[in-house]
Amino acid sequence: PAPRTVLLTGAAGGLGTLMRGLLPAYGYDLRLLDMVPVEGEPDAIVADLADRDALREAVRGVDAVIHLAGISLEASFEKILKANIEGTYHLYEAAREEGVDRIVFASSNHAIGWTPYPKDGEPLIPVTTPRRPDTFYGLSKGFGEDLAQFYWDKHGMETVSVRIGSCFPEPTSVRMLSVWMSPEDGARLFHAALTAEEIGHTVVYGSSANTRLWWDLDSARALGYEPRDDSEPYAEKLVADHGELDPADPAQASVGGHFLTTPPIWPR
């Protein structure tokens, strides 16, 4: 049967807030979790991903998990280790212990950030491209994808790892014209990831059907995802304001954009 009760981690964040608004229309009963209170949601569980007991209770009885919680930008390795690497492990362990066998994992384009984007008719980036993380953050997303593969092979728990481009209400940069995922397409993709059958561990890119798309959406479409949006209507103004991307600039030549030139953040 299709999952109905879904735990949404990271519910207070940007994407979590968008998905809290959009996913109930698909018939889901969302249980919310974040380390900070979720505005307007007094029933949301306030817990850190380090709290295994709280995670076990949070996943008890749900049909699936959408795992968005974590640090969503570059940070020190120590912080990334705790929230994204250990935190994602704790979440999978809690799900295993409670028999929850479907997870949608918010991976990121920064797992392949050093990959040059296709120029002049070059082929789209396949989902099988070698990972080239551009930050400790991107590295943690590669770990999450491997963790998902391991829990499938070892324990039969299914995951769709969604390498999200940029999911915000509107594209706000020229790079985002290629990687944008409209919130509505995001909800369509998460719904497909929750309901597709026999997925094992599937890696997909998460974006709309952008005219300037850089990667291959075939594995997402195979789940039943049909994107309906395209960033192109935003192109004229963004290009007029900022110019086209300059492949000679290291911060504009590869998928990860300015994450490539973000200096490593060391702990104080």
Active site residues: 137
- Which range binds ligand 15L by CB under 6 A, 19-27, 49-57, 106-114, 185-193? 106-114
Tally of CB atoms within 10 A around 58: 22
For β-strands 45-46 and 64-67, DSSP reports them as unpaired
Which partner from the list ligand NAI, ligand 15L, none does 38 bind, CB cut-off 5 to 8 Å by kind? none
Residue at 33: amino acid letter: L
Please choose, from the candidates 187, 185, 181, the residue with its C-alpha nearest in 3D space to the C-alpha of residue 213: 181
Binding window for ligand NAI (CB under 6 A); candidates: 57-65, 69-77, 94-102, 232-240: 69-77
Nearest by Cα to 8 from 221, 148, 205, 194: 194
Q: Which does 174 bind (CB under 5 to 8 A by kind): ligand 15L, ligand NAI, none?
A: none
Assess 83 for contact with ligand NAI (CB under 6 A).
yes
CA pair distance 147, 68, nearest whole angstrom: 15
Report yes or no: 255 and 133 within 8 Å, Cβ to Cβ.
no
- Considering beta carbons, is residue 109 or 182 the nearer one to ligand 15L? 109
108 binds ligand 15L (CB under 6 A): yes
Cα–Cα distances in angstroms (integers) from residue 127 to residues 131, 161, 214, 219, 226, in the given order: 9, 11, 11, 8, 17
Binding residues among 30-49 for ligand NAI as defined by CB under 6 A = 34-36, 48-49
Which secondary structure element, helix H or strand E, spans residue 84, and what is its range?
A: none
Q: Which of 3, 7, 13, 65 binds ligand NAI (CB under 6 A)?
A: 13
Is residue 258 part of the contact set for ligand NAI (CB under 6 A)? no
Q: Which residue is nearest to ligand NAI (CB)?
A: 13
Binding residues among 149-168 for ligand 15L as defined by CB under 6 A: 166
Q: Cα separation of 139 and 116, whole Å?
A: 17
- Is 204 a residue that touches ligand NAI (CB under 6 A)? no
8 Å CB contact between 5 and 63? yes
Kindly state whether residue 14 participates in binding ligand NAI, applying the rule CB under 6 A. yes
Site residues (CB under 6 A) for ligand NAI?
A: 10, 12-16, 34-36, 48-49, 68-72, 83, 87, 106, 108, 164, 166-167
Site residues (CB under 6 A) for ligand 15L?
A: 72-73, 108-110, 166
